[in-house]
Structure 1
Amino acid sequence: MKATKRPIHAVSTWVRRQPPKIKAFLAVISAMTALVFLRMIVNDHDNLFVASEAVHAIGISVLIYKLTKEKTCAGLSLKSQELTALFLAVRLYCSFVMEYDIHTLLDSATLLTTLWVIYMIRFNLKSSYMEEKDNFTIYFVQVIPCAVLSLVIHPTTQHLFFNRICWAFCVYLEAVSVLPQLRVMQNTKIVEPFTAHYVFALGVARFLSCAHWVLQVLDTRGRLLTALGYGLWPSMVLLSEIVQTFILADFCYYYVKSLVGGQLVLRLPSGVV
């Protein structure tokens, strides 16, 4: 067993010792390699979006287990759940008035689950909520900037102006909604397994969603971006997907490293968030 761990440990140690620029370069190379691999093995790239939603559902299931069986919400960010509920509610409104499809039903189920999680944290499991650790300023750092950005850069489609603003707002807010959860984990330094599994599932889901958009753009030779409108909006949609992925990339690295090392509890070093 030790022999199989040594090469992985050696690689992880080497990566950890590299300067930030080298780490960023390695992350980009790894992401590009994963995209090439997915492009080779997945014929219909729309399936990547379905896979993204499936992984997200698995993450939520882990969260539900933690709340119902473990009877604790320690390590969870109420603010992240509230931001998730907010962008899902706005996205549902956009789905109903702009394009009602199967994703509308999936978002409805996710919103109901998220509202249930918020209820459990606020009322049933309030005593285990780490309010002092959940100290990310969401309104001035996330909600208001996303609202302002949506007024400046939004879709140029034929929909009502208000609906286009809402569409942009939920895209931008989703990209940064996980930041309070990462701050909680950074403050506690030690992340118990179920919270770690949940956040890792979010990271994998975000990567699959990002891969879906990138590969669709490559497959259509950029025509997908022009279908979303003109100006900066198409690029901002793609950038938002990439931002979500890289926000969680560092955590996912330490999660995999901990899992390979056989550690049930994840310990984060300073500077992950």
Structure 2
Amino acid sequence: MISGRRSRNPVRTLLLWFRRQPPKIKSFLAVFAAIFSLIFIRFAIRDHDNLFVAAEAVHSIGIIVLIHKLIKEKTCSGLSLKSQELTALFLAVRLYCSFVMEYDIHTLLDTATLVTTGWVVYMMRYKLKSTYLSDLDNFPLYLVIIPCAVLALVIHPTTSHYLVNRILWAFCVYLEAVSVLPQLRVMQNTRVVEPFTAHYVFALGVARFLSCAHWVLQVVDSSGYLLTALGRGLWPSMVLLSEVVQTFILADFCYYYVKSVVEGQSVMRLPSGVV
């Protein structure tokens, strides 16, 4: 009996203890873990610009997982076509803004990500249409596109670029923050998430955290100068807020993903109200 207790997985024990805590304690521990992770990353990685590249790379890995699923299993069940289309939309807008405003390595990364996302959309819409669960992918797109467009018209960069380009830049930032919502709705409707979809969404969560860490640490390292460089008004704060929103939207899912991996579950089961 004693040896059985000693051999118990410590990570699983910690997750079970965390699960039993009241909501306020959970929130405090989550914030503490995020702050500790940021401190660790700040001192472990010298060039924090690499975090943004890492975020793009992790996102690409997630898409590769999707491609593997579509090619190997010949099914797109459990995936949200709407999320993929929103992803393609904000990537296309961001790629245009990158070409006309700040051509750099991110332009190449966005190009590769857009091409692969476009292929996923094509496969889901045409080649694997019979396996697409459209009745479960029922998140209204106007609930994200219209608010993002209105917000972009009101709050956008105050740089010297053309007004249209600045509005489009803001639009893609806001849209990226909420583009995963249709995918979360699909998983909420099914409750059971198959491995490839779970891996993909977890990769998005990691990518969002790395991107958020990049912005937070850049602001800290520049003693707030970066916010000033982005322009005046509410825009700099909205950029940072968008990164934080993306991270928190996926935080619950990532917790249950890690929990299911630790427990050795072949499929991921979500309790009611997680996403």
Out of 103, 107, 112, the position equivalent to 1:104 is 107
Would you say the 8 A contact 2:53–2:106 is kept in 1? no
Question: 1:5, CA displacement in angstroms?
Answer: 3.9
Partner Cα separation in structure 1 for residue 64 and residue 186 of structure 2: 20
Question: 1:207, CA displacement in angstroms?
Answer: 0.5
Q: Are residues 1:256 and 2:258 paired?
A: yes
Per-residue deviation, residues 69-93 of structure 1 (Å, max 9, x unmatched): 1111010000000100110111111
One-letter identity of the residue aligned with 1:262: G
Q: Are residues 1:236 and 2:238 paired?
A: yes
Q: What 5-or-longer segments of structure 2 have no aligned partner?
A: none
What is the aligned partner in structure 2 of residue 121 from structure 1?
A: 124
Moved more, 2-11 or 12-21: 2-11
Question: 1:4, CA displacement in angstroms?
Answer: 4.5
Would you say the 8 A contact 1:5–1:260 is kept in 2? no
What is the aligned partner in structure 1 of residue 138 from structure 2?
A: 135
Per-residue deviation, residues 42-62 of structure 1 (Å, max 9, x unmatched): 111111111111111111111
One-letter identity of the residue aligned with 1:252: C
Partner Cα separation in structure 2 for residue 35 and residue 186 of structure 1: 30
Out of 30, 34, 43, the position equivalent to 1:27 is 30
Match runs of 1:33-112 below 5 Å = 33-112=36-115
Partner Cα separation in structure 1 for residue 9 and residue 207 of structure 2: 29
Would you say the 8 A contact 1:5–1:261 is kept in 2? no
Partner Cα separation in structure 2 for residue 10 and residue 268 of structure 1: 19
Partner Cα separation in structure 1 for residue 12 and residue 259 of structure 2: 8
Q: Normalising by the residue count of structure 1, what TM-score does the alignment of the two structures yield?
A: 0.96
What is the aligned partner in structure 1 of residue 10 from structure 2?
A: 7
Per-residue deviation, residues 186-231 of structure 1 (Å, max 9, x unmatched): 1100001010001101100110111011111110000011000011
C-alpha root-mean-square deviation of aligned residues, in Å? 1.3
Instruction: Give the aligned length.
Output: 272
What is the identity percentage for the equivalent residue pairs of Structure 1 and Structure 2? Answer: 76
Q: Are residues 1:247 and 2:249 paired?
A: yes
